[in-house]
């Protein structure tokens, strides 16, 4: 006899199953949206071809006697599908690069490899890359690898307040650069899962893409140059933009502290260049007219030695 309670119970069961399937599909879709297109496409193609090859391989195995004819084809089909899927995923990045170069050559828009510039963590934390890129002095596409973004996020989550502030500043700089129409910036997913240092990953990626590295890290700068990789060092750019002074030229300096040697005072130019004022210890806190005596070039930058003139400009 027809029982309406059974029907209602069945409908509730179907609803719960449908709801669970829908939530599962939603979760899967959210995960798939985070996967870059080459890996998604190659994975989908691998599953399709894997099922096709697995099904063809399973056809003769279905003739095995008893339960073997039922389960062996299923197991073989599953193993073949997973193997083909893994093979296609491993070739996703090379295939993407190959088709990218092929399309560039076909349509005549191939760009020079030198146009690619890989950005490291230190340059984002430093922040000067943003105004430099926005001004148009950087010619090329800025590439931020996913492992650099991950390192920047770790710095922003640090327990140390100073590191946390620097990491957050780097993330803010990156966010503003992404939304600046004057800056060509792309975050690339290289699927780097190795435990190698980030600097080594950057060097390998630069070699692979024949790209330059933009950094303010002194050690990365030296190692990259040793391995014949072109480096854009923001510190070197800033140093080259500092005004050039010659012995005998007059400048105005505010002496802010005593120097290391007796009777010396120390001041700084607006660009941060250290000025050592001979006989300037007694003039701390004052602005004085000085004459450039000599200039020393060091690894950290320039040091300018000056001699105060007799006339004071101002006194605090």
Task: Write the pLDDT tens digit of every residue in 189-227.
Answer: 765 566 788 888 888 888 888 889 999 988 888 888 898
Q: Which residues contact 316 (CB under 8 A, 6 or more apart)?
A: 285, 286
pTM value is 0.52
Q: Which CATH class is domain 111-240?
A: alpha beta
Tokens describing residue 312: 């004071």
Separation CA 69–CA 72 (nearest Å): 6
At 168, is the pLDDT very low, low, confident or very high (cuts 50, 70, 90)? very high
Q: Is 239 exposed, middle or buried (0-12, 13-18, 19+ CB in 10 A)?
A: middle
- CATH number corresponding to 250-315: 2.40.50
Q: Which pLDDT does position 303 carry in this prediction?
A: 82
Separation CA 147–CA 119 (nearest Å): 11
Q: Which pLDDT does position 4 carry in this prediction?
A: 47
Q: Which residues contact 58 (CB under 8 A, 6 or more apart)?
A: 72, 73, 74, 76, 77
The ranges of the chain annotated as CATH 2.40.50 are 250-315
Query: What residue ranges in 134-224 does DSSP mark as E strands?
Result: 141-145, 185-188, 212-215
Q: Which residues contact 73 (CB under 8 A, 6 or more apart)?
A: 58, 59, 61, 62
Question: Each residue of 247-294: pLDDT tens digit?
Answer: 888 888 888 888 888 888 999 887 778 889 888 888 888 888 888 988
Tokens describing residue 105: 């050559």
Separation CA 141–CA 99 (nearest Å): 19
Q: What is the mean pLDDT of residues 284-311?
A: 81
The ranges of the chain annotated as CATH 3.40.50.1010 are 111-240
Question: Each residue of 4-19: pLDDT tens digit?
Answer: 455 455 656 766 776 7
Q: Which residues contact 174 (CB under 8 A, 6 or more apart)?
A: 124, 144, 149, 152, 185
- Asked whether residue 112 carries a pLDDT value surpassing 60, the answer given is no
Q: Which residues pair with 307 in a beta bridge?
A: 291
- Residue 268 neighbours by CB distance under 10 Å: 15
Mean pLDDT taken over the chain: 80
């Amino acid at each position: 006899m027809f029982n309406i309670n059974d029907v209602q119970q069945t409908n509730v069961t179907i609803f719960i199953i449908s709801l669970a399937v829908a939530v599962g599909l939603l979760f899967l879709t959210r995960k798939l949206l985070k996967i870059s297109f080459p890996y998604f496409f190659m994975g989908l193609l691998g599953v399709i071809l894997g099922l096709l090859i697995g099904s063809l391989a399973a056809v003769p195995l279905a003739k095995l006697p008893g339960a073997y004819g039922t389960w062996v084809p299923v197991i073989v089909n599953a193993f073949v599908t997973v193997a083909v899927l893994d093979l296609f995923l491993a070739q996703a990045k090379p295939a993407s690069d190959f088709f990218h170069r092929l399309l560039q050559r076909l349509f005549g828009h191939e760009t020079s490899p030198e146009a690619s510039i890989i950005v490291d963590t230190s340059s984002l934390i430093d922040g000067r890359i943003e105004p430099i890129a926005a001004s148009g002095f950087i010619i090329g596409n800025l590439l931020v690898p996913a492992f650099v973004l991950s390192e920047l996020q770790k710095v922003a989550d640090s327990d140390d307040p100073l590191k946390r502030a620097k990491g957050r500043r780097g993330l803010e700089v990156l966010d503003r650069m992404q939304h600046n129409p004057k800056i060509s910036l792309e975050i690339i997913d290289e699927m780097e899962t190795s435990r190698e240092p980030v600097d080594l990953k950057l060097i390998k990626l630069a070699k692979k893409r024949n790209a330059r590295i933009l950094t303010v890290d002194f050690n990365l700068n030296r190692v990259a140059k040793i391995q014949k990789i072109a480096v854009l060092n923001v510190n070197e750019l800033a140093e080259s933009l500092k005004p050039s002074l010659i012995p005998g030229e007059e400048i105005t300096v505010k002496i802010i502290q005593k120097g290391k040697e007796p009777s010396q005072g120390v001041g700084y130019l607006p660009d941060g260049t250290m000025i050592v004022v001979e006989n300037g210890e007694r003039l701390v806190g004052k602005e004085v007219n000085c004459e450039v005596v000599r200039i020393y070039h060091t690894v950290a930058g320039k040091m300018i030695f000056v001699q105060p003139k007799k006339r004071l400009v101002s006194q605090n």
